[in-house]
Amino acid sequence: MKKESNLKRLLRYAGGYKYLTIASWILSALSALVALLPFVYIWKVIKEVLDVAPNYGDVQELSHNGWMAVVLAAAAILIYIAALICSHLAAFRVQANMRTKAMHHIVTLPMGFMDGIGSGKVRKIVYESSAATETYLAHQLPDKANALATPAGLIVLLLVFDWRLGLLSLLPVAAAFIIMSVMTGKQMRKKMEEYNNALGQMAGEAVEYVRGISVVKTFGQSVFSFRRFKEAIDNYEKWVIAYTKDLRFPMMCYTTLVNGIFAVLIAAALVMTSGGVTNEFLLNLMYYIIITPIITLTLTKIMYASENKLIVADAMSRIDSILEMEPLPETDHPKHPKDNSVEISGVSFRYKDAGRNALENISLTIKPGEHVAFVGPSGGGKTTLASIVARFWDVENGSVKIGGINVKDISKEELMDTVSFVFQDSKLLKTSILENVRMAKPDSSREEILKALHDAQCDDILEKLPKGVDTVVGAKGVYLSGGEQQRISIARVMLKNAPVLILDEATAFADPDNEAKVQAAFSVLAKGKTVLMIAHRLSTVTGADRIVVIRDGKIEDTGTHDQLKGKDGLYAEMWRQYNKAAKWKVGVSNA
């Protein structure tokens, strides 16, 4: 089956606006043809001047021909402006529809999708790739229609006055067109993909470097301390230099040919007038020298249109990489959990392209209202285990049940009402605190939101803000510390009041004062709920009903804090190391 062209797909995004795109092509082509007519009147002006020379006072049609050239040039400009208005209206609609479709699809994907691909890469694909199509539709396609119509009119004009000079004008053009075709062929398509990959890699590593700039400055390091960022820059530099060198000779030949048409004409004129020159030949020669720069402009437009076509093809493939991702399947006959118990049976899970399983044959039953903590070395599978409960991902083997019902058989909406989570790096939107909390329950009243903020220990935050709960956070507003943002996020979860709660290292970025208030908020939040807590700071899990020790994707041990610290195992060693670190103090010399 023949693959649908990128242009047809773009026009489908345009909807009814596709007719404006077609209108822009027609108007742009018409503008190109009208723009050639002034040269006919310029030829008439030159002819009349040569015919009456040296009696220039005998000219009769000079003013008329001059004004006709001006009027037709102005008409060509106005028609081209109308073409651009049509193309821009359609291009903006395509860009908006493409972004809307991509974002609507993204919200249907597994919640772990963003962790797998990275928020920076998603933003680049959705916004920059769609922006590339806007440039193509708004400018490049009308220019291409203009550039294709111009040669048709030019061929007529070049051959109608003196076919010999006309053919000579086309010889360098034909050679330049062949070189351009080679430069913008399949090799260019591959190079364009490599370019975007190198640019994307450098942009991603730049984000990581900026996030770690405080560490770099604190320890007096430089960009070289971020090896991957430095390597990304070096790779991009090597690619650009190599690519530039590859195109140096063909681009030099192309530029020489398209800008040297007049030189060919002059050389030919010297040969053709060796026996004498006539006014008619001189007229045609001057006319061809004046009109041939249009050929240079036309070929340049075609070349850039071809290059932008490759950019659009790459942008569409990147958009497709998101649209082709399958959302988690939804059951046609949803069932309802009977309680807030969690049962994990024989679960194994592997991330895409990973070399080994993140979870290996995990089985665990958590009773309704039980508080269970997951501890273990970093990368052991704690967060992954909690994530599959909220169905961030679907498991390959085994099952995950809430209230006796497989999470795959619970509707997406009910699952989100059943499970809440507080991440270690909570995000607030750039709106008021009131609206940030209301996200959890859109129909909640102002009084309910204020109560949730009170229970989350946020009273001191609201008291210091200029507009209290109506204060906007983020850009053009106030900025909150990590611990304060965490408490606002907890208020959001309190308002939602889901029966199953997942806490992923929720006090990681809190200072001692904020940590105490966050812990107090958790004590209110966790009442009557099933809690799954992921923690590295062992002091936060000592009161858990049960601690599950996870290493290398497997459950190594379970028990209470007192039971586990008395055993000769991983938890006991972690507890000893934790206490040793907590008692460590920096020595101060008296010397």
Lowest model confidence (mean pLDDT) among 2-16, 153-167, 181-195: 181-195
**Cβ proximity of 69 and 42 under 8 Å:** yes
Strands in 419-422's sheet, in edge-to-edge order, are 419-422, 500-504, 530-534, 371-375, 546-551, 554-559
CA angle 305, 309, 311 (to 5 degrees): 115
- 429 versus 582: the higher-pLDDT residue is 429
Q: Which two tokens stand for residue 104?
A: 């609507």
- Sheet with 405-406: list strands edge to edge: 359-366, 342-349, 397-402, 405-406
Q: Is the pLDDT of residue 56 over 70?
A: no
What would the mean pLDDT of 2-6 be, rounded to a whole number?
A: 67
Collapsing DSSP to helix, strand or coil, 374 comes out as strand
Q: How far apart are CA 6 and CA 382, in angstroms?
A: 43
**How far apart are the C-alpha atoms of 282 and 286, rounded to whole Å?**
6
Domain ranges of the chain: 6-323, 342-580
Angstrom CA distances, 403 to 254, 341, 366, 368, 384, stand at: 71, 5, 10, 8, 20
Q: Return all residues near 259 (Cβ < 8 A) that are at least 6 apart.
A: 296
- What does R_g of the chain's alpha carbons equal in angstroms? 35
Tell me the per-residue pLDDT of 485-519, one tens digit each, with 9 for 90 and over.
888 888 888 888 889 988 877 555 555 666 677 77
Residue 74, pLDDT > 90, answer yes
State the CATH architecture for 342-580.
Answer: 3-Layer(aba) Sandwich (3.40)
* For residues 53-76, average pLDDT: 84
User: Please, are residues 36 and 157 in contact by the beta-carbon 8 Å criterion?
Assistant: yes
pLDDT at 27 (0 to 100): 94
- Collapsed DSSP state (helix, strand, coil) of residue 505: coil
Name which of 142, 157, 26, 39 is nearest 91 in CA terms: 142
Residue 38 near residue 72, CB atoms below 8 Å:
yes
C-alpha to C-alpha distance for 369 and 349, rounded to whole angstroms = 26
Give CA angle at 185 (146, 259), nearest 5°. 55
The crossing angle, in degrees rounded to 10, of helices 293-323 and 62-106 is 10
Question: The tokens of 119 are what?
Answer: 């928020």
What local confidence, expressed as pLDDT, does residue 71 receive?
A: 94
Q: Is pTM, for the whole model, over 0.85?
A: no
- Sequence letter at residue 278: T
3-class DSSP state for residue 397? strand
Residue 1: predicted pLDDT:
47
Is the confidence at residue 16, as pLDDT, over 70?
yes
Position 304 scores a pLDDT of 65
Determine the distance from the C-alpha atom of residue 248 to the mean position of all C-alpha atoms in its chain, rounded to a whole number: 31
Q: What is the 3-state secondary structure (H, E, C) of 35-46?
A: HHHHHHHHHHHH
Confidence of residue 455 (pLDDT cuts 50, 70, 90): confident
Task: State the Cα–Cα distance between residues 35 and 31, nearest whole angstrom.
Answer: 6
For 275-302, what is each residue's pLDDT tens digit? 676 777 777 777 777 777 777 777 666 6
Say whether pLDDT at 221 is over 70. no
pLDDT in tens, 241-276: 877 887 788 888 877 877 777 777 778 777 777 767
Q: For residues 152-178, give the mean pLDDT.
A: 75
Residue in the structure block whose two tokens are 């904020």? 514
* Long-range contact pairs involving 44-49 (C-beta distance under 8 Å, separation at least 24): 45/69, 46/283, 46/286, 46/287, 47/283
- CB contact at 8 A, 47 and 61: no
Q: Please report which confidence band the pLDDT of residue 392 belongs to, taking 50, 70 and 90 as the band edges.
A: confident
Fold of domain 6-323? ABC transporter transmembrane region fold (1.20.1560)
Task: Indicate the angle between helix axes 293-323 and 227-259, nearest 10 degrees.
Answer: 150
Residue 533 is inside which H or E element, if any? strand 530-534
pLDDT of residue 70: 92
- The stretch 438-448 carries a mean pLDDT of 89
Tokens 């208030």 locate to 517
Over residues 42-49, the mean pLDDT reads 79
Q: Give the bridge partners for 365, in sequence order.
A: 343
Structure tokens at 540: 């936060």
Whose tokens are 């806007």? That residue is 134
- How many angstroms separate the CA atoms of 417 and 415, rounded? 5
**Contact between 229 and 184 (Cβ < 8 Å):** no
Closest CA to 111 of 350, 325, 375, 324: 325
- pLDDT for 88 beyond 80: yes
Q: How does strand 342-349 pair with strand 359-366? A: antiparallel
Q: Is the pLDDT of residue 587 over 50?
A: no
Tokens 């988690």 -> residue: 328
For residues 77 and 29, is the Cβ–Cβ distance under 8 A?
no
d(CA 327, CA 307): 34
In this model, does residue 223 exceed pLDDT 70? no
Residues sharing a CB contact under 8 Å with residue 91, sequence separation 6 or more, in sequence order: 21, 133, 134, 135, 136, 137, 138
Phi and psi torsions of 348, nearest 5°: -125, 145
Whether pLDDT at 54 is above 90: no
- Residue in this structure with the two tokens 């994990």, named with its chain if needed: 344
pLDDT at 79 over 70: yes
In 10 A of CB 274, how many CB atoms?
A: 8
The stretch 128-141 carries a mean pLDDT of: 80
* More confidently predicted of 305 and 373: 373
Task: Write down the pLDDT at residue 252.
Answer: 85
Please say if the pLDDT value at position 436 is more than 60.
yes
What's the whole-number mean pLDDT along residues 129-141?
80
Higher pLDDT, 201 or 76: 76
